[in-house]
Amino acid sequence: TARTEKREFQTEVKQLLHLMVHSLYSNKEIFLRELISNASDAGDKLSFLALQDDSLFEGDGDLRIWIEPDKEAGTLTLRDNGIGMTRDEVVANLGTIARSGTAEFLRQLSGDQKKDSRLIGQFGVGFYSAFIVASRVEVFTRKAGAPASEGVYWSSEGDGQFELGEAELAERGTRLVLHLRDDEKEFLDSWRLKSLVRKYSDHVAVPVMMREEPAPAEDGDDTPAPAWEQVNAATALWTRGKSEISDEEYQDFYKHVSHDYSDALTWSHNRVEGKLDYTSLLYVPGKAPFDLWQREAPRGLKLYVQRVFIMDDAEQFLPLYLRFIKGVIDSNDLSLNVSREILQNDRTVAALKAAMTKRALGMLEKLADNDAEKYQQFWDEFGAVLKEGPAEDYANREAVAKLLRFASTQTGDAAQNVSLADYVGRMKEGQKAIYYVVADGHRNAVGSPHLEVFRKKGIEVLLLSDRIDEWLMSHLNEFDGKPLQDVARGALDLGELEDEAEKKAHEETDKQFASLTAEIAKILEADVDSVRTTHRLTDSPACLVVAEHDMGAQMRRILEAAGQ
Ligand code: ADP
Ligand code: MG
């Protein structure tokens, strides 16, 4: 390894390395899953490129991952014959974190959060997890198709620096040498390793090879190393039948495709033959990633065509309001040559997107029906994203409406846990509309003077206070045949909820105060449209209402903030 140089990790990497080693230590064996996952991704990427240029296989198209412990040296070696990396790629992939917002997120972590494995895990523990068990990691890698002389050597103790150099590497792909810490020698035991491979990586499509158990030692040192054997099943999980797959396997596969560290909430696995021919496996994560609201955050499905990996983060198969869904789609209709450009306006892709959207919504509906607690967990993490649905996807607005949850005067607290169906089930005799109020913040919604008459009559009102709520409601006009009515809008007509006596009394009041309202209207001429008496207040003397078709206060503020 001539010409080595020392380099510093990017600051975020240093911080993350430190946090990771400490927060994930209690589940340290996952390093093996992560490194095998990378080796398998590397095989996928090579197969994909070799579709265009099979010289990249260099005569060896049998992709493999080899794992070899060396008890004497105290090292664990993982090798793959996947795509490999160039020097620049090594520096970018093993020295920086490209995901935007990372620095900001890390800075905001409190002391306790820094120990929360779920928070740290959302970065995709990845390659750096090697440092949980290793005091030094060496990487030898050579890109497929590059000459042996362009091999790269990388080495680090995970402290803040890494060493970078050249290496002559006859074999393409990547070899990692983990120098295990003294108290991590359990990972040199091949029984232990094999059981971990089966546990975490059975579904990885590339065969993972380890040495067969040696025959009892004979005298002399020159017994040849035992032959390699395949340890994992090496069939892509989604190609197997549902009934053969355990929940644990689904969860392990989830971690492989999502780069998430915690479990998924639920999943939906479907094989479809007919007009469209595909297999999909979609997951709902348990936790929102820190960059859920960032435009450039990675999203989309892992795309395979006829079992061949094509790309990560294929965004074209799901609408934006379902951007939290993770998973795989394997199509038999698309060509192996598809590119991101082709995906943009392909009719099959449009049909697949419609199908995936239905699946995802169906999966959420099922979760809501079967497990209210988990659904609430989903809603608390992703509800605000789902609220973009009716505006983005008019055709599915009813399916989305069923999934919505709101705070309500029924409970009065801020938890969003009332569905429109719940509300409808509690509607009063003679009540025609679903009533809601929109305000800046839950407390303002609860305290809204518009609620007074509803309280008096015992009518439930939904309390909306998310930034997006008015936008949502402007695209949702009815549910279950009942109009959604903003209580702060227009003249309030409670219809049959009022009795004759009340109606009479109101007409009387109108007459009685006609000259007063006219007088006030004149004074406020520049600011208001009209002034009238109202029966919607019981305690407050007056309130402002928005005309039926005017923009609400919340929308106005959003547009103002956007400079419109
Ligand atoms: P992720 O897998 O989520 O991208 P990792 O930290 O696991 O994050 O890996 C970072 C990057 O390093 C990968 O995206 C890949 O480009 C590169 N990499 C890691 N391991 C390998 C490998 N065995 N072969 C080729 N590239 C690799
Ligand atoms: Mg990885």
Question: Which residue CA neighbors atom 8 of ligand 1 most closely?
Answer: 126
Pairwise CA distance, residues 154 & 467, whole Å: 48
Q: Is residue 309 a contact partner of residue 302, using CB atoms and an 8 Å limit?
A: yes
3-state secondary structure of 469: helix
Candidate from 93, 152, 312 with most ligand 1 atoms within 8 A of CB, to mutate: 93
Q: Is beta strand 434-438 parallel, antiparallel or unpaired with respect to 462-464?
A: parallel
Give strand pairing partners of 6: 163
Q: Is residue 329 a contact partner of residue 314, using CB atoms and an 8 Å limit?
A: yes
Instruction: Give the pLDDT confidence score for residue 384 in this predicted structure.
Output: 96
Phi first, then psi: give them for residue 304, nearest 5 degrees.
-120, 145
**From the CB of 513, is ligand 1 less than 6 Å away?**
no
DSSP state of 287: S
Which is nearest to 79 in space by CA: 67, 93, 62, 89? 67
Candidate from 81, 125, 127 with most ligand 1 atoms within 8 A of CB, to mutate: 127
Pairwise CA distance, residues 121 & 204, whole Å: 21
**From the CB of 40, is ligand 1 less than 6 Å away?**
no
Which residue in this structure is represented by tokens 């579904």? Answer: 203
Q: Within 10 A of 35 (CB to CB), how many other CB atoms are there?
A: 24
pTM assigned to the model: 0.86
**From the CB of 486, is ligand 1 less than 6 Å away?**
no
Instruction: Give the pLDDT confidence score for residue 493 in this predicted structure.
Output: 65
Q: Is residue 229 a contact partner of residue 212, using CB atoms and an 8 Å limit?
A: yes
Instruction: Give the pLDDT confidence score for residue 1 in this predicted structure.
Output: 46
Ranges assigned E (strand) in 316-474: 326-331, 407-408, 434-438, 462-464
**Ranges in the chain, pLDDT < 70:** 1-2, 124, 217-221, 490-493, 495-497, 536-537, 547-555, 557-559, 561-564
Cβ-Cβ contacts under 8 Å for 215 (sequence gap 6 or more): 223, 226
Question: Which residue CA neighbors atom 15 of ligand 1 most closely?
Answer: 93
Question: Which residue CA neighbors atom 1 of ligand 1 most closely?
Answer: 126
Instruction: Give the pLDDT confidence score for residue 466 in this predicted structure.
Output: 93
Q: Within 10 A of 9 (CB to CB), how many other CB atoms are there?
A: 21
